[in-house]
């Protein structure tokens, strides 16, 4: 493999965003013409019944000629959502439940009447 082939495959600059079961990778790579482009990869963790896990990945390739429109549209959409629904994350409770379950997968959390949680955890086995 030549140095040029290796350069095309290596990441030039990267950032990672962890979000619950999902991780987003923002990677700058080089084209054959030695220009840069962005790959955005979503990696989502799935747990199998036997406790093992696997990841599913989805990738977007974004080239410089699309940066402006992509960025403008992303801003428009995120502004719309915040304007209509505010910036409170409604699923925070579910994210914290997931993170707690990841850490203490053998313990069950049962809410008490004086608890700040207004729900009771159940499993599908209870139904």
13-58 pLDDT per residue, tens = 999 999 988 999 999 999 999 999 999 999 998 888 898 989 999 9
With respect to residue 117, please indicate whether it lies within any of the assigned structural domains: no
With respect to residue 120, please indicate whether it lies within any of the assigned structural domains: no
Question: How many domains, in total, are found in the chain?
Answer: 1
With respect to residue 29, please indicate whether it lies within any of the assigned structural domains: yes
Q: Give residue-wise pLDDT tens across range 52-88.
A: 989 999 999 999 999 999 999 999 999 999 999 998 8
With respect to residue 68, please indicate whether it lies within any of the assigned structural domains: yes
Domain extent, residue 78, equals 3-107
For 117, other C-beta atoms within 10 Å of its C-beta total 13
With respect to residue 18, please indicate whether it lies within any of the assigned structural domains: yes
With respect to residue 112, please indicate whether it lies within any of the assigned structural domains: no
With respect to residue 92, please indicate whether it lies within any of the assigned structural domains: yes
Q: Are strands 53-63 and 22-30 parallel, antiparallel or unpaired?
A: unpaired
């Amino acid at each position: 493999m030549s140095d040029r082939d290796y350069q095309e495959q290596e990441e030039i600059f990267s950032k990672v965003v962890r979000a619950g079961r999902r991780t987003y990778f923002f990677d700058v790579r080089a084209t054959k013409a030695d220009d840069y482009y962005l790959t955005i990869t979503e990696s989502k963790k799935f747990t199998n019944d036997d406790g093992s896990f696997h990841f599913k990945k989805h990738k977007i390739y974004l080239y410089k000629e699309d940066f402006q429109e992509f960025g403008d549209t992303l801003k428009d959409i995120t502004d719309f959502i915040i304007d209509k629904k505010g910036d409170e994350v409604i699923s925070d409770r579910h994210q914290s439940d997931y993170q707690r379950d990841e850490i203490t997968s053998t313990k069950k959390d049962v809410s008490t009447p004086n608890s700040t949680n207004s729900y009771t955890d159940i499993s599908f086995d209870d139904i």
